[in-house]
């Protein structure tokens, strides 16, 4: 007896769009991960870049990417397709980055509270590599929510409606915050020492 869920013939995953890959992955996942792997391959680099922009370092970004991929692997069967796969993926990524950011913030507060020598801490910060390269240096001048909107727009290349859905905001509020964040960045570029 042939299983109805098992794909009937070989296929080239690179030839399929995201929706087709999601359907294949849902039916394959118990037996094989071919379609899932193609989905992750398509988004891996952008996913990593989004995480680096959110978190500010590659180590945390790599950890979050691994966590996101596991969540997608385990959650794909429940993915209903109400949104695009890309939107769902970046929604998971956004939530994982927020969780990681909060963990790091708590850890820093604890280390600060336990620090006995404030001068040692200041010296340590001076030795860290300067994070003021390109977009990263500009993003430090924008509040976290606006930074996330800019990252989702420029790095993940999402549409405004997708960003609004991920961040649980209205479309007009998302566009307004985006516009204000761009203005703030332009002002920073024009007057970097203000």
Query: Cβ distance 104 to 60 under 8 Å?
Result: yes
Instruction: Please tell me the pTM assigned to this model.
Output: 0.66
Residue 32's pLDDT is what?
Answer: 85
Q: Which residues of 92-129 are buried (b: 16+ CB within 10 A; e: fewer)?
A: bbbebbeebbeeeeeeeeeeeeeeeeeeeeeeeeeeee
DSSP letter (8 states) at residue 191: S
pLDDT tens, residue order, the chain (194 aa): 444 455 455 788 888 999 999 999 998 887 888 999 999 999 999 999 999 988 888 999 999 999 999 999 999 999 998 899 999 999 999 999 988 888 887 777 656 655 544 444 444 444 344 433 566 677 777 888 888 898 888 888 899 999 999 999 999 999 999 999 888 888 877 765 54
Q: Got the DSSP string for 129-178?
A: PP--STHHHHHTTS-HHHHHHHHHHHTS---HHHHHHHHT--HHHHHHHH
């Amino acid at each position: 007896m042939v299983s109805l869920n098992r794909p009937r013939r070989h296929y080239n995953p690179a030839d399929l769009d995201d929706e087709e890959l999601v359907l294949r992955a849902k039916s394959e996942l118990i037996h094989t991960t071919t379609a899932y792997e193609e989905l992750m391959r398509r988004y891996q680099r952008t996913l990593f870049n989004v995480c680096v922009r959110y978190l500010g370092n590659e180590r945390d970004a790599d950890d979050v990417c691994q966590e996101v991929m596991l969540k997608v692997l385990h959650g794909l069967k429940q993915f209903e397709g109400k949104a695009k796969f890309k939107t769902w993926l970046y929604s998971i990524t956004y939530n994982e980055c927020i969780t990681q950011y909060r963990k790091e913030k708590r850890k820093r507060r604890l280390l600060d509270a336990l620090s006995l020598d404030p001068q040692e801490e200041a010296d340590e910060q001076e030795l860290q590599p300067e994070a003021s390269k390109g977009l990263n240096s500009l993003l430090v001048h924008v509040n976290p929510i606006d930074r996330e909107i800019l990252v989702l727009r420029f790095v993940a290349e999402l549409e405004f409606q997708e960003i609004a859905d991920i961040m649980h905001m209205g479309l007009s509020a998302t566009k307004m915050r985006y516009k204000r964040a761009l203005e703030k960045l332009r002002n920073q570029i024009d007057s970097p020492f203000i």
